[in-house]
Amino acid sequence: MRCIRVSRVPAIALVTLTGIAISGALKCAAAAPEEEALSERSLNPQIAVSTRYSTPIEIPRTDRASLHARVALQSWRLTSRDRKIDVPAQDFYVAELVNGSVETDIGGHVERRRAGDHWAVQRGEHMGVRIIGRRQENALLQIFTLSVADH
């Protein structure tokens, strides 16, 4: 398995690692066999997910075995004007709102988001999204996921 090797990284830097790994991988690899092909699936009737890129990475650690993980770039198309959209628990991800205005509820913390806003959702947390823009029926999120293999 071909992996991108990343130098020692403290746990707090995993958000940055996700963006670096994806941008570096996009430059380094065109279409290696272990990369997922472009795909589209549905998390639920209101969330269409398009995976644009996905690749394995290896995060070396000095005191233990390396962590094996997968980073991915996805687009989530959310559709619902009348009610809150429940996003099922995922691995850790960083979201960017591409268009419109939404209100997110993550662990009871409700916050309004506008196009260009970024936020992180911890592994196992559910996120509720309500589209709040006038005459807006959908929202697009760019998602950077980091899935660490459990040993």
Domain boundaries, the chain: 4-148
Given a cut of 80, whether residue 62 has pLDDT beyond it is: yes
Would you state the pLDDT for residue 151? 54
Averaged pLDDT for residues 47-61: 91
Given a cut of 90, whether residue 34 has pLDDT beyond it is: no
Would you state the pLDDT for residue 46? 84
Would you state the pLDDT for residue 137? 86
Cβ atoms < 10 Å from Cβ of 71: 23
Q: What percent of the chain clears pLDDT 90, i.e. is strictly above it?
A: 48
In the CATH scheme, what is the code of domain 4-148? 2.60.120.10
CA distance 64 to 8: 12
Contacts of 7 (CB under 8 A, 6+ apart): 60
Helix (H) or strand (E) holding 139: strand 138-148
DSSP string for 45-102: TTEEEEEEEEEEEEE--SSSPPEEEEEEEEEEEEE-SSSPEEEPP-SEEEEEE-SSEE
Distance of CA 93 to the CA centre of its chain: 4
Q: What is the pTM of this model?
A: 0.70
Given a cut of 50, whether residue 19 has pLDDT beyond it is: no
Q: Among the ranges 77-86, 88-97, 129-138, which has the highest mean pLDDT value?
A: 88-97
Given a cut of 70, whether residue 37 has pLDDT beyond it is: no
Please answer whether residues 4 and 55 qualify as being in contact, where contact means their C-beta atoms are separated by less than 8 angstroms.
Answer: yes
SS3 148: strand
Please answer whether residues 51 and 71 qualify as being in contact, where contact means their C-beta atoms are separated by less than 8 angstroms.
Answer: no
Averaged pLDDT for residues 68-95: 89
CA distance 69 to 128: 26
Closest among 88, 135, 139 to 112, alpha carbons compared:
139
CA distance 44 to 122: 20
